[in-house]
Amino acid sequence: MTTVTLNLEQKLYVITERSGYSCFGFDNAREHANQIAQQLDQSHLAFAPGDYATLAGYQKYLTATAAWGRSPLNQRTYFAPGTDPKAAKVLESYRRTGEKIRLILGDLATGEPWLDEHGVVGRIGRSGGMLKIPLLVEPGESGGGAILTDCILCLVDWQTGNTPYRHPAYREANLGLSSNDCPDLPWAVRRGSDAIACFADIGKAAAYLAFMRGATIEPRVFA
């Protein structure tokens, strides 16, 4: 049996099942329900003023996703609220062609990338279920993790290095390479004064720096 309770302090629905529990944000429930209501042109699915942070709001979210699942639009890829339509179009194109792509994710307000090293290079897949969300499928894998499509700063074609999508706020990470105090790892890649990665080999350090600035360098080069 599934029970849902409210964590008002952290703005979360806490969903408890026999196998454990999961959490879902109040904001996420509202944004998904409102997006589905707009795309299906069914205003009754959208949040009313009193639905936020209530169990009724969570039920509204479930009703909206079920309506999407019954709709012909269910055959489309479903993108998170806040996803730039231009980024969604590029992801769909790469999903159809199966070409390899690099994701650069980060803060859309500041344009700062998160400097993710893993789970950012592969082909675009898609989940099953009512909401068929885009997945990043890494080489050699048959499945993958969900893409935070509302946090995409840049998409890089892995073969050419071209950027078919670039968010207006995106700026390449301001990184530098310098010596490090540790004898075993004498080279450090720094963001400002903070060392974010240290290496024994200067070539690997330089490759890591280039990758984090968007270059199409296989991560195994600096692993």
The Cα–Cα gap between 36 and 155 comes to: 26
pTM, two decimals, is: 0.90
Q: What are phi and psi of 104, to 5 degrees?
A: -120, 115
The Cα–Cα gap between 7 and 33 comes to: 20
Domain that holds residue 179: 175-221
pLDDT tens per residue, range 31-43: 999 999 999 999 9
Residue type at position 201: D
Confidence (pLDDT) at 18: 85
Residues 94 and 156 reside in one and the same domain: yes
Residue 80 is assigned to a structural domain of this protein: no
Residue 49 CB: number of other CB atoms within 10 A?
A: 5
Residue 181 is assigned to a structural domain of this protein: yes
Residue type at position 197: A
Domain count, the chain: 3
Residues 152 and 122 reside in one and the same domain: yes
Residues 58 and 13 reside in one and the same domain: yes
Residue 79 is assigned to a structural domain of this protein: no
pLDDT tens per residue, range 52-109: 999 999 999 999 999 999 999 999 999 999 999 999 999 999 999 999 999 999 999 9
Q: Which of 145, 166, 187 is the last residue of a domain?
A: 166
